[in-house]
Chains A and B, each alone.
Chain A
Amino acid sequence: MNTPEVVREPILASDTAARVSRVGLAIGVLGLLLALALGASKGDGMRHFFWAYLVAFAYVFTLTLGGMFFTLIQHATGAKWSVSVRRLGEFAMNTVPLLMVMALPFLYPLFTHSGVDEYGGLLWPWIHAHGEHAELVEHKSPFLNTPFFLGHMVFYFAVWMVISRFFMKRSLMQDADRDLSYPHTVKMRKLSAPSIIAFALTLSFAAFDWLMSTDPIWFSTIFGVYIFAGCVLAIHSWIVLSSVFLQKRGYLKGFVNTEHYHDLGKFMLAFTIFWAYIAYSQFMLIWYANIPEETGWFQHRITPAWESWSYALILTNFAVPFFGILSRHVKRNKAALAFWAAYILVVHFIDLYWVVMPNMDPHNNPFSLMDVSLLVGMVGLFVWAYARQATKSSILAYGDPKLKDCLAHVNF
């Protein structure tokens, strides 16, 4: 093993990062434009577009919030193994401003009256309660109403903004600092635990507000945990892909080694299982109790239009990756692990699409090029915001006092 000497120096990948972020921006803009054109051509007053936009938004949201959790949990546990990849998680976390901008288009379905007569609105069905369950939805209006909804949104973003700014800034300060009492390290460790509580609550409620309320009748208290499982799964895969890419370009050589990939792979496996565990917990209680207002959600997912998608989900998101990543040899093989990371990032979309889209129309699966181009576009923008940070900052948290231990770390 060629462990590099820990010289406290930044690792800059400015050129590569600049190029990647430019490509990301281009793909993002093109993807969104294409999606807009396709959406407008559907002649449904952009209804399908907004629903698909919500899925793509949720995808970026899980990456950003996944990055936040990754960063926080490493500080809270004083983790050593992850120091050399933590900066990548921090970059993902620090894209909250982009997420805020991405949330702006939601104002349109929230306030417009177009589409109300034809479909009862363009997005969340509770905005204009309609149809046979209108009265039921009306009962939830103290929570599900536009001003309160927006108030929540602002609050979530404020919390995430504070957390991501703080942990990014401190981490950069830690790099530059030579004080051997490591004040920034200590400060981050202390504040990470309360931040995790704030994270858990805001993530859960954001999942309730944005995703669960696409079916305003249905409720599931574990839903936030389900989305959380996706966040953690996505960010570990994202970090694997990023660091494999960077190493291909000659960066981080020796800093991220087999042991670190092995650990990232373990988390990918663990959270594949965790995702299935939570998905199943949610399903089984509802299936067993068989209460109409709860079963409706699954009923909408076993219609002829969605049935195969639902069964595929069990295979693509659990059975296949479980056996795929189970072996230690796979986790310790960079190319194999990168393949599974990419795979998980693809099926993560299948999951989110399944969570949201049947609520738009249980009897029709609208999956089309527009959904894909929206996803690609939004991820392109995410890549832009993600890589742009690497043009200025080191891609390694080189000032972390645990870096030496991180590099000496081996799995038994």
Chain B
Amino acid sequence: MSNNTKQFAVLAEYETVDEILSAAVKVRDAGYAKWDCYTPMPVHGLDDAMGVEQTRLPWFTLCAGITGGSLGVLMQWWMNAVDYPFITSGKPDWSLPANIPIVFELTILFSALTTFFAMWIMNNLPRWYSPLSRVKRFARATDDRFFLAIETADPLFDASATESLLRETGAHAIESVEDPDESPTPPIWLKHSLLIAGTGLLIPLMIIAYARFNTQEAPRVHLVPDMDFQEKYKAQNPSPLFEDGRAARAQLAGTFAFEDDHLILEDPGYYTGKDEGGDYLAEVPIEVTREFLERGRQRYAINCAVCHGYDGVGDGTVNQRAQSLQTAGWIPPSNLHQAYIAAQPKGQLFESITMGIRNMPGYKSAITTEDRWAIVAYLEALQGTQEAGARQLWGAAPSVEEVSPSDEDPLVAKGRELHTTKTCIACHSLDGTTLVSGSFLGLAGSERKLTDGTAVVADEAYLHESIMDPNAKIVEGYVPGLMVIPPISDDEREALVAFILSLKQ
């Protein structure tokens, strides 16, 4: 320890509240600035006696609260209305009532943290140590004695004058406080634990960074299973509650459907994709501009690409995962480039998106009417990219006749129709591409390798058997049980087989 100590303050000790109060008044009136009182409990009136001014802390709190609240609004406006608009629960993109709780919380959070840290800063905290704590008698400041210390740093400080002032105030003891002037260092254990805690704080950040730049194989952890897997009735579920056994109530007779605050009756084509006569609109009823297509592309990427893929072939991430899990009964998203889809009137596509189709849910409540039309318009462009050679990029879609020649055998034509309606098309394409399973193009007459090492020719009998009992002969690469088909009558099977045979190459 160096001997280079210098005086830090003069400390006066008092025994009662009244003594310290009157002493504080005297010191205040003498004009000192750097001094303080130390008491074992809060003493009412001491602030006044010391001439402590009203704190400016509330202003920090107010500003922080206003900042927090405005940030809360801005943040949610940006996220919900600008950066990633996504309709939830049928509310507008940016819906103020839903923002209030977060605005409220941020207001409180900002005010509370600001108050806390501003208070620290205004009190010169954190501080390792005060020279006062070296004085033995000062320990009683937490017990039963009252102290007043005037620091040497005060411009009015004068060793003898200050001391005599304190003596006049009736101090019971006066002591000079020395500061050894060695910069105090925090204890080693404190350094170490702070270091460990600081490093520990980096761990969550690293986990976040890792997750941000890596894909995860394992499914997510469900922290709140109740919320992730709610027990609830969905639209078509049965429910014992109602007489008709349906969970959802049917619309009352005479109900007028509304969409975007308009009666659907006003413009059925626009809202449903079908005109008054019930026929699909052939074209998008909105002028298709570049912006409109861009909008469609963006909406498609947000809402459809997870299943149908960005390119529309039906291999989005949802499908990839289902395939890798080999989910039995999985109906893959359709390849949107199939001729029969490209040939559909625009109104029909619109209806598929709006109401859903077979296994695909409807998107009426999630995508606005105009955006659904934008997606339809974009789909045409998307389909065009795949057949640029076969037809004009921006020209008309191939007519239905082109796809199914009218001079076709009626049985084959029926089979062609069944191929779509009985959902074969979901897995078996007609153009040679492999969807979930092999294409029907050139299937008939080809040689099939079976898992038992033998081979068969796909003749008429084989085709019949495969439809009736998909697992009778297992082709290499086929997962038994994968094929799930709706009931098919003998006549229909006849037609389907005829159709497949017609695709012989």
User: Which residues in window 333-363 of A have CB below 8 A to B?
Assistant: none
User: Given contacts A288-B89, A290-B89, are A410 and B44 in contact (CB under 8 A)?
Assistant: yes
Q: Does A245 contact B (CB under 8 A)?
A: no
**Which of B95-103, B175-183, B487-495 interfaces with chain A?**
B95-103
Across the two chains, which residue of chain A brings its CB closest to B88? A288
Determine how close the nearest CB of chain B comes to the CB of A248; give it in whole angstroms. 27
B-side interface mostly: helix
Residues of B within 8 A of A284 (CB): 97-98, 100-101
Q: Does A111 contact B (CB under 8 A)?
A: no
Q: Contacting A412 at CB < 8 Å: which of B47, B89, B90?
A: B47
Q: Contacting B45 at CB < 8 Å: which of A280, A287, A288, A410?
A: A410
Residues of B within 8 A of A409 (CB): 44
Residues of A within 8 A of B45 (CB): 408, 410
User: Which residues in window 33-66 of B have CB below 8 A to A?
Assistant: 42, 44-45, 47-48, 58, 62
Determine how close the nearest CB of chain B comes to the CB of A273; give it in whole angstroms. 10
Across the two chains, which residue of chain A brings its CB closest to B58? A328
Q: Does A283 contact B (CB under 8 A)?
A: yes
Interface centre among B44, B45, B89, B91 (most CB of A within 10 A): B44
Determine how close the nearest CB of chain A comes to the CB of B53; give it in whole angstroms. 12
Across the two chains, which residue of chain B brings its CB closest to A273? B104
A280 and B100 contact, CB distance less than 8 A? yes
Q: Tally inter-chain residue pairs, CB-CB below 8 A.
A: 25
* Complex CA–CA separation, A408 to B44 (angstroms): 7
* Complex CA–CA separation, A280 to B103 (angstroms): 13
Across the two chains, which residue of chain B brings its CB closest to A287? B97
Interface string of A373-412 (1 = CB under 8 A from B): 0000000000000000000000000000000000011101
Residues of A within 8 A of B98 (CB): 284, 288
Residues of A within 8 A of B42 (CB): 412
Determine how close the nearest CB of chain A comes to the CB of B247; give it in whole angstroms. 14
Residues of B within 8 A of A277 (CB): 104
Residues of B within 8 A of A408 (CB): 44-45
Determine how close the nearest CB of chain B comes to the CB of A286; give it in whole angstroms. 10
User: Which residues in window 258-309 of A have CB below 8 A to B?
Assistant: 277, 280, 283-284, 287-288, 290
Determine how close the nearest CB of chain B comes to the CB of A262; give it in whole angstroms. 13
Residues of B within 8 A of A287 (CB): 97
* Complex CA–CA separation, A287 to B97 (angstroms): 8
Interface string of B61-97 (1 = CB under 8 A from A): 0100000000000000000000000000111000001
* Complex CA–CA separation, A410 to B101 (angstroms): 34
Residues of B within 8 A of A328 (CB): 58
Determine how close the nearest CB of chain A comes to the CB of B233; give it in whole angstroms. 14
Across the two chains, which residue of chain B brings its CB closest to A281? B101
* Complex CA–CA separation, A328 to B104 (angstroms): 22
* Complex CA–CA separation, A328 to B97 (angstroms): 30
* Complex CA–CA separation, A412 to B47 (angstroms): 8
* Complex CA–CA separation, A367 to B299 (angstroms): 50
Across the two chains, which residue of chain A brings its CB closest to B62? A326
* Complex CA–CA separation, A173 to B91 (angstroms): 60
A283 and B89 contact, CB distance less than 8 A? no
* Complex CA–CA separation, A284 to B48 (angstroms): 46
* Complex CA–CA separation, A277 to B103 (angstroms): 12
* Complex CA–CA separation, A329 to B240 (angstroms): 63
Across the two chains, which residue of chain A brings its CB closest to B54? A328
Residues of A within 8 A of B91 (CB): 288
Across the two chains, which residue of chain B brings its CB closest to A259? B44
Residues of A within 8 A of B47 (CB): 410, 412
* Complex CA–CA separation, A273 to B149 (angstroms): 43
Residues of B within 8 A of A412 (CB): 42, 47
Determine how close the nearest CB of chain A comes to the CB of B365; give it in whole angstroms. 12
Interface centre among A283, A290, A410 (most CB of B within 10 A): A410
Residues of A within 8 A of B58 (CB): 328
User: Given contacts A288-B89, A290-B89, A328-B58, are A283 and B44 in contact (CB under 8 A)?
Assistant: no
Determine how close the nearest CB of chain A comes to the CB of B346; give it in whole angstroms. 32
Determine how close the nearest CB of chain B comes to the CB of A411; give it in whole angstroms. 10
Determine how close the nearest CB of chain A comes to the CB of B294; give it in whole angstroms. 32
Across the two chains, which residue of chain B brings its CB closest to A405? B44
* Complex CA–CA separation, A316 to B263 (angstroms): 37
Determine how close the nearest CB of chain B comes to the CB of A283; give it in whole angstroms. 7
Across the two chains, which residue of chain A brings its CB closest to B55? A412
Residues of B within 8 A of A283 (CB): 97
* Complex CA–CA separation, A287 to B100 (angstroms): 13
Across the two chains, which residue of chain B brings its CB closest to A326? B62
Determine how close the nearest CB of chain A comes to the CB of B441; give it in whole angstroms. 50
* Complex CA–CA separation, A290 to B97 (angstroms): 13
Determine how close the nearest CB of chain A comes to the CB of B191; give it in whole angstroms. 35
Determine how close the nearest CB of chain A comes to the CB of B252; give it in whole angstroms. 12
User: Which residues in window 371-418 of B have CB below 8 A to A?
Assistant: none
* Complex CA–CA separation, A287 to B62 (angstroms): 30
Residues of A within 8 A of B89 (CB): 288, 290
User: Which residues in window 199-247 of A have CB below 8 A to B?
Assistant: none
Interface string of B96-117 (1 = CB under 8 A from A): 0110110010000000000000
* Complex CA–CA separation, A283 to B101 (angstroms): 12
* Complex CA–CA separation, A177 to B97 (angstroms): 55
* Complex CA–CA separation, A290 to B104 (angstroms): 22
Determine how close the nearest CB of chain A comes to the CB of B251; give it in whole angstroms. 13
Across the two chains, which residue of chain A brings its CB closest to B91? A288
* Complex CA–CA separation, A288 to B91 (angstroms): 8
Residues of B within 8 A of A288 (CB): 89, 91, 97-98
Residues of B within 8 A of A280 (CB): 100
* Complex CA–CA separation, A277 to B45 (angstroms): 35
Determine how close the nearest CB of chain B comes to the CB of A4; give it in whole angstroms. 16
* Complex CA–CA separation, A412 to B98 (angstroms): 37
Across the two chains, which residue of chain A brings its CB closest to B45? A410
Determine how close the nearest CB of chain B comes to the CB of A245; give it in whole angstroms. 28
Determine how close the nearest CB of chain A comes to the CB of B422; give it in whole angstroms. 39
Determine how close the nearest CB of chain B comes to the CB of A192; give it in whole angstroms. 26
* Complex CA–CA separation, A93 to B98 (angstroms): 39
Determine how close the nearest CB of chain A comes to the CB of B230; give it in whole angstroms. 13
Determine how close the nearest CB of chain B comes to the CB of A65; give it in whole angstroms. 28
Determine how close the nearest CB of chain B comes to the CB of A38; give it in whole angstroms. 39
Interface string of B180-224 (1 = CB under 8 A from A): 000000000000000000000000000000000000000000000
* Complex CA–CA separation, A24 to B91 (angstroms): 51
Determine how close the nearest CB of chain B comes to the CB of A402; give it in whole angstroms. 14
* Complex CA–CA separation, A288 to B47 (angstroms): 50
Determine how close the nearest CB of chain B comes to the CB of A259; give it in whole angstroms. 10
Residues of B within 8 A of A326 (CB): 62
* Complex CA–CA separation, A397 to B101 (angstroms): 42
Other CB < 8 Å A-B pairs besides A326-B62, A410-B44, A410-B48, 6 of them?
A: A284-B97, A284-B101, A288-B97, A290-B90, A410-B45, A412-B47
Q: Considering the complex of A and B, which 4 residue pairs feature the smallest CB-CB distances, nearest first?
A: A410-B44, A287-B97, A408-B44, A284-B97
- 7 intermolecular pairs with C-beta atoms under 8 Å apart: A287-B97, A288-B97, A328-B58, A408-B45, A410-B47, A410-B48, A412-B42
